[in-house]
Amino acid sequence: MALDTDLTLNSLGFAKPPAETRVVVAMSGGVDSSVVAAELASQGYDVVGVTLQLYDHGAALAKKGACCAGIDIHDARRVAESFGFPHYVLDYENIFRDAVIEEFADSYLAGATPVPCIRCNERVKFKDLLETARDLDADCMATGHYIQRKDGPTGPELHMAGDPRRDQSYFLFSTTREQLAFLRFPLGHLTSKDETRALAAKHGLAVADKPDSQDICFVPNGNYASVIEKLRPGAGEPGEIVDLAGNVLGLHEGVIHYTIGQRRGLGIGGLADPLYVVRLDPDARRVVVGPKDALSTRIVPVREINWLGDAPLDSRAEWQVLTRIRSTRPPREAILRPTGPDTATVELLSAEEGVSPGQACVLYEADTTRVLGGGWIWRG
């Protein structure tokens, strides 16, 4: 029997009615994922909400403004009850600790500047949670991330969000082709957060005016050092602050209290020009400081590259790209020179300050919004 090739695709890209399309929505309890769930449910999709409990629930209840706090689980459940779809809370504490928190602590102790939200997306949300969605016989999984998935000539492509101010491509560069085929990002095309909040108000969601989370969920008030000290007792051992020539300028109370590019809090006075942290030497317990120009970097080595381009990464000697090394800065022109199937050197056409091992280096196609992938900076 011939297949009917004239079936109209629904809004999630499937040739069947919404009621026959099961979608698992990753619900953090915030306004973005709540709007996604409400919109899809109102369109008639077979929605299943899933919220991950990623760290100690008791501690979470005492802390607001974090993506995984206890109040957020309650908010996600309330949305599900309002729209009549099932909602599950999955205990991922052990997975999250092993896959994200432990590496965060070790990287920080090694003098790197880790980005745990990327590892969480890569190793938990888009890996274990995605497999759970498949186990629930879902056709796809939807999230509230601000990024776009577009169909290209060789398959689905990842693109920056319609609103550059909300774009989350920096945190999602490690999404694989296989994952991208299963994922949907219904908010990616919106051009402002006001549109999202308006949709929340339209659906009568109590979270319509809920503030966005700012902190890393397991780092209260952005105090990384206190978290590291709990995870690795004795990590805050004192040491010396030295200049680039090795001259001792002062003492510090632990390398974990410093990051590359930091200026404030050095406790060194009486100098004509300000000093910045230019390097961390955790083995020698030294914080190396220098003038601002010592922070400038043009050559950036990158490894563990997840490549989403049409041709293999190492099929060319070099690629003209845009790159982003910090989530808060716009992409800038660079030349990508592969050194292997998943390693490369990135030459920035204009120097970047404060480049640190452990940061992500995200790559974009020049003159388009397409994400070509990215990797991890592995030495200063």
Question: Which pLDDT does position 270 carry in this prediction?
Answer: 62
Same domain, 204 and 246: no
Would 13 be classed as within a structural domain?
no
Question: Which pLDDT does position 142 carry in this prediction?
Answer: 98
Would 12 be classed as within a structural domain?
no
Same domain, 213 and 117: yes
Q: What is the mean pLDDT of residues 142-154?
A: 96
Q: Which of 117, 140, 217, 361 is catalytic?
A: 217
Total structural domains within the chain: 3
Would 184 be classed as within a structural domain?
yes
Is the pLDDT reported for residue 331 higher than 50?
Answer: yes
Same domain, 276 and 208: no
**Which CATH number do you get for residue 327?**
2.40.30.10
Same domain, 192 and 208: yes
Could you tell me the residue range of the domain that residue 241 belongs to? 236-290
Q: How confident is the model at residue 41 (pLDDT cuts 50, 70, 90)?
A: very high
Report how far residue 327's alpha carbon sits from residue 336's, in angstroms, rounded to the nearest whole number.
19
Report how far residue 308's alpha carbon sits from residue 153's, in angstroms, rounded to the nearest whole number.
13
Same domain, 240 and 323: no
Same domain, 143 and 80: yes
Same domain, 40 and 104: yes
Would 371 be classed as within a structural domain?
yes
Question: Which pLDDT does position 251 carry in this prediction?
Answer: 92
Q: How confident is the model at residue 43 (pLDDT cuts 50, 70, 90)?
A: very high
Active site residue 140: no
Question: What's the chain's average pLDDT?
Answer: 89
**Which CATH number do you get for residue 141?**
3.40.50.620
**DSSP letters spanning 163-214:** STTT--GGGTTT--HHHHHHEE-TTTT-S-HHHHHHHHHHTT-TTTTPPPP-
Same domain, 183 and 272: no
161 compared with 253, residue with greater pLDDT: 161
Is the pLDDT reported for residue 214 higher than 80?
Answer: no
Same domain, 25 and 173: yes
Question: Which pLDDT does position 283 carry in this prediction?
Answer: 84
CB-CB contact of 186 with 40 (8 Å): yes
- Given 176, 197, 221, which residue is the final one in a domain? 221
Active site residue 120: yes
Same domain, 310 and 266: no
Q: What letter does residue 217 receive in the DSSP assignment?
A: T
Same domain, 97 and 153: yes
CA distances from 156 to 13, 128, 149, 168 (A): 11, 21, 6, 17
**Which CATH number do you get for residue 281?**
2.30.30.280
Is the pLDDT reported for residue 353 higher than 80?
Answer: yes
Same domain, 160 and 180: yes
Would 4 be classed as within a structural domain?
no
Q: Which of 67, 120, 140, 361 is catalytic?
A: 120
Three-state DSSP at 54 gives: coil
